[in-house]
């Protein structure tokens, strides 16, 4: 939940404060929808930690730095709050991991760094 208020300063120097406004999201925000660990990825898998249960049809996709879809898979529509992503086929680099609902709307995006030692 976010709280804010505005301060208006007029040309004559007088100031007025607005009432406090509240901004509440219906669900987890993109930054909170999921986490990736370890990041940077050093092995062949990365854990995808979900903020809560996801609806059926939710997918996770990995995109290259130029926007090419490299892999996509369904995330179980149950009470599971974790999944595993394979990074074995990904060369060293930076990728975008996108979580999408069944309608294709983005639920969140994270940057993933792959380093194979």
Q: pLDDT tens for residues 79-98?
A: 557 788 899 999 999 999 99
pTM of the model: 0.69
CATH number reported for the structural domain that contains residue 95 in this entry: 2.60.40.3080
Residue 77 confidence class, pLDDT cut points 50, 70, 90: low
Q: Which domain holds residue 81?
A: 28-114
**CA 28, CA 50: separation in Å to the nearest integer?**
10
Asked whether residue 62 is assigned to any structural domain, the reply reads yes
The per-residue pLDDT for 79 is: 56
Asked whether residue 69 is assigned to any structural domain, the reply reads yes
Asked whether residue 102 is assigned to any structural domain, the reply reads yes
As for how many domains the chain has, the answer is 1
Task: Using alpha carbons, select from 33, 100, 95 the residue that is nearest to residue 68.
Answer: 95
Q: What is the pLDDT of residues 30-42, one digit of tens each?
A: 556 788 889 899 8
């Amino acid at each position: 939940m976010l709280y804010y208020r505005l301060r208006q300063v007029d040309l004559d120097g007088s100031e007025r404060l607005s009432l406090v406004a509240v901004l509440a999201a219906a669900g987890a925000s993109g930054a909170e929808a999921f986490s990736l660990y370890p990041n940077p990825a050093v092995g062949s898998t990365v854990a995808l930690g979900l903020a809560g249960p996801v609806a059926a049809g939710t997918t996770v996709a990995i995109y290259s730095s130029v926007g090419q879809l490299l892999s996509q898979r369904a995330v179980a529509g149950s009470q599971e709050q974790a999944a595993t992503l394979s990074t074995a086929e990904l060369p060293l680099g930076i990728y975008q991991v996108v979580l999408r609902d069944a309608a294709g709307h983005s639920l969140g995006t994270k940057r993933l760094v792959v380093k194979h030692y």
